[in-house]
Structure 1
């Protein structure tokens, strides 16, 4: 078997009452998927068996006690729990949140111990997963606390990449959170990811304005003039290919985004609304800046269709392929920087 087929791809199962398990099983129902990776699902044999029977999904799997026992060429299921959870499709319950957390913690622990090479996370419910020990607004912040590095929520497809200056933060709090230090940090993380994970030598980055029309010279808010513009100017003077701020309302409709390798949006919906409009079902959420590769689909638990067998696995499958590609790009990058003859070729802008 080729080396590339030996990538150990860990999967956290997400909320059991949502569509997470369904899109995971549908993705690996196609036996050809194990040619690209060794999938390792963190759940339990009984849970997977019930879901596949409920949903009519034809898939064989190999039950194991720990990720290190995974068999290449098979779909592996790590038995994180032995009991049978009470599955209520379409309902946000405390129990389904607790099992989502058990799966996520087991997968992250295996990732930290190098028992898996990368992680793809199925959707969680950000409310019912909360405990006194898990007080994070989502996967991104939790992973940033567990893994080395600084995180950037980065929504990506083959032709569109949008990162966020602020992510799971109330809109009213976003402007005050956007400082020159934050902008510099997110630009640095994005540049590194574009170079190391996507193979772009001199990435061009566009920043979207905070206010409508980027403030209209201070008429509609002063943040763009006082924070964004000076910081962008300083970064440009230092040699970074950073441009803006661009008015968000026309930037995507005019296809201005096609002139850049990536875009930094000021806040969550400013970036995710155009991203999902242009690429829903094909997009991937990539947590850039961490020591390990993590991706997820661009949708949530979709309780409204859970248990009906109607979920489209397209975005989850894209998340699998994206994670594998980024993992390989990162390996290639590490080999290049170890070769003194290649160092000049991979310098960042």
Structure 2
């Protein structure tokens, strides 16, 4: 199969001209390499992802210490408010497999110094979490507490992906994840708008793992293919990357670790560390793809000024159509799936266009005194 050279979507990074837009905060790497990193998430950020991320950094001369809060299948709300108050911060497991106590951990002295980097993710059902689980408010609570304990720190929002649409037919999933990229960007941008309105200099950037994974699959199953990853059929590629419809193999996990490293550090090492289980030819192809993807992604546009309207127009139909066909229909039946799709197509689009509290992207008033 051919390599990346013929890609129509990921060919080369565009060269910004003199009138290029200013750097987009959600697309910027950390100003300095992390020394201590904390991950709050679920199975898509579980080990070995942080292990791979640490190994890539250490092999490149930028080692860091890390810990985590892992709560399987969780929303950010479950990891903050939980059953009430701040109970969620004591839910889940840490790096050692012990019960997590996030607020104690992030404030405790450590020989390596204070934490300087937070990676946090929302559940893959992003639209439902935004509309029902107060993603923005709960993420802000996590960020404020992290920043209060670790002044000058930085947050990265890791993008999670929905289960794919089938090993033989991943095209519908690819299309959905391309649409979802806007929603993740808008979420990070709204967090930054809320922080700026408080005169809080802390900022949130993205780790575009979901978008990168979808583009990798799109390239690998295209006629161009990717050496070391493409097979004779789409399911060959899917089998190399996924253990089921959503969780990743060692190869897939290492790829998203490459994306995370590049998002945080700004670039990948010339030859990144790779686990022994990853074929060297595949590793070379994945690193090349990750490098080109991140170069192109880094120069992308800012989030729309009116994210709510943009998401109502583009993301709500994409999300609801996908979960209707690849989630609700199987778990709740065709009739219920259609009713939910029809109802939320109206209600969520209306709410996202409103200026009410039902719109998580409503304009932000400056609350600083």
Settle same-fold status: TM greater than 0.5. no
Higher fraction of helix: 2
Query: Which of the five TM-score ranges fits, normalised by the shorter chain?
Result: under 0.3
